[in-house]
Amino acid sequence: MGPRVAWGIASSPAFNSIPFSLPNNHYSQDSYMPQMGSRARWRQSWAPQPLTPLIEGPGPEMQEKGTKKESSWEVIREWFRTQKISPGGSFSQSFYGTIHAKTQDLRLLLGVLGCPLAPIPSAHDPALSIHIKDTPFETSTAKYIIQQYLAATGCLKQQKDTKNMYATGMVKMICCETEISSGKNVKCLGTRSSENGCFVLWQMLPGMWSLELVVGDHKVVAGSNGKTVWRHTPWLGTHAAKGPQRPLRRIIQGLDPKTTASLFTNAQCLGENRIGTVDCFVLKVSADRAAVVERSEGPAEVIRHILYGYFCQKSGLLIYLEDSHLTRVPTQDNDTVFWETTIGSSISDYRDVDGVLIAHQGRSIATVFRFGELSMQHSRTRMEEIWTIDDVMFNVPGLSMDHFIPPADIFNNISSP
């Protein structure tokens, strides 16, 4: 176990220049890596940052440290403002003409695809909460499909309970392409430049997880102690998510069938559809109104967040996942701007890991659509991630709740009266 965990990540090219770090500032390598002995220690230092709510849309913060008092949505608007259409109808080229364009694109991409969350919290035990009797037809059909999904992945016949999980993988992220329209003119900006990277993911039930993702020279760290979800980036600092505690979307992309099933426990079956040539049942679940209101930040109001799951009729496995997130933000010129972020993920290459089928490959395409309530101008930004799983292990010895303690700045803020 020791060498596989240590060198599987540390030897990756993306980690040569950026050391592997812990999900908080209290632990050395010996306590974070179970049964690792007394090898060289890495310690993570967290620069104090003001706590602002985590934004699940694009967040390319370009300010220097110490000047992060501005709202995250103001920064997002500034990112798109650099690509605006001039009054004469011509398109501004200043943004993509600077040397910082690639860095801006990658930060936006990581803000959207790096560590998004699922729309709703997960139930603790999906197998025990699935009952078909005395429920509406659409709901009972969905419960039956989820039961078949659990059986297809091997979760129902598991001899040993899974307490925790470890996974490593590689990613290829393709930077943004933006289509801007003025109502008369349409122009595409940006390039399809790509960056390679890797990630390590730890999970412990119930609801605890830790993710480190390195792409190019950028690093995103996120986690949850079962009560608070947080994220840290060098350009945004540390952020705590608002609203109910929700699982990491990367986990439900075929890595943890039980968590995936728990999200669809109260889903509705919309019928049948095809993904390519594969016939699928389509299930839908959405966050309730109270939850999305709680997630709103200042003037930015979350309108809805919906998740669709496409389950193969033949195999019973989840092969496509799509969620749509809509936010309304007022502007200074009395207009209202809507941001719709859609992420569609193809999930494939299921392999047996200790009796459970785990997806080892996938591709996610995200689209950020910005449009106004009054203005004819709109923009559509497209980004992509291709991911593979290198290693998965269940029930890692020595992994405990202490390894999921948030960074000190968030932890002290939560503990204060």
- Per residue in 108-166, pLDDT (tens digit) is 888 899 999 999 988 765 544 555 567 788 888 999 999 999 999 999 887 678 899 99
Contact present, 36 and 4 (Cβ < 8 Å): no
Distance CA 237, CA 214 (A): 16
The upper half-sphere exposure of residue 149, i.e. CA atoms within 13 Å in the direction of its Cβ, equals 33
Query: Which distant-in-sequence residues (6+ apart) come within 8 Å of 294 by Cβ?
Result: 242, 243, 244
The upper half-sphere exposure of residue 293, i.e. CA atoms within 13 Å in the direction of its Cβ, equals 3
Nearest to 239, CA basis, from 406, 80, 403, 119: 406
Confidence (pTM): 0.76
Tokens of 220: 């995103």
Residue with tokens 């176990």: 1
DSSP secondary structure string for all residues of 113-179? HTS-B-SSPPPS-TTTS---TTS-HHHHHHHHHHHHHHHHHT-TT-SS---EEEEEEEEEEEEEEEE
Nearest to 337, CA basis, from 77, 53, 119, 116: 77
Question: Cis link prior to 19 (omega < 30° from 0)?
Answer: no
Residue type, 198: C
Residues present in the chain in total = 417
pLDDT at site 115 = 92
pLDDT at site 308 = 97
Q: What is the mean pLDDT of residues 365-371?
A: 92
pLDDT at site 44 = 36
Q: What is the mean pLDDT of residues 337-348?
A: 95
**Through-space distance between the first and last CA atoms of the chain, rounded to whole angstroms:** 41
Nearest to 318, CA basis, from 342, 348, 344, 343: 348
Query: Which distant-in-sequence residues (6+ apart) come within 8 Å of 22 by Cβ?
Result: 28, 29, 32, 42, 43, 44, 403
Confidence of residue 103 (pLDDT cuts 50, 70, 90): confident
Confidence of residue 100 (pLDDT cuts 50, 70, 90): low
Q: Are strands 218-225 and 208-215 parallel, antiparallel or unpaired?
A: antiparallel
Average model confidence (pLDDT) across the chain: 76
Least confident of 68-77, 129-138, 234-243: 68-77
Q: Are strands 229-233 and 301-312 parallel, antiparallel or unpaired?
A: unpaired
Q: Please report, rounded to a whole number, the percentage of residues in the chain having pLDDT higher than 70.
A: 70
pLDDT at site 34 = 41
Contact present, 160 and 203 (Cβ < 8 Å): no
DSSP 70: S
Residue type, 327: T
Nearest to 25, CA basis, from 2, 3, 48, 51: 48
Confidence of residue 281 (pLDDT cuts 50, 70, 90): very high
pLDDT at site 387 = 97
84 three-class SS: coil
Query: Which distant-in-sequence residues (6+ apart) come within 8 Å of 180 by Cβ?
Result: 83, 84, 85, 91, 186, 187, 188, 189, 377, 378, 379
Compute φ and ψ for 29, nearest 5 degrees.
-60, -35
Tokens of 88: 């004469």
Distance CA 23, CA 21 (A): 7
Q: Please report, rounded to a whole number, the percentage of residues in the chain having pLDDT higher than 90.
A: 43
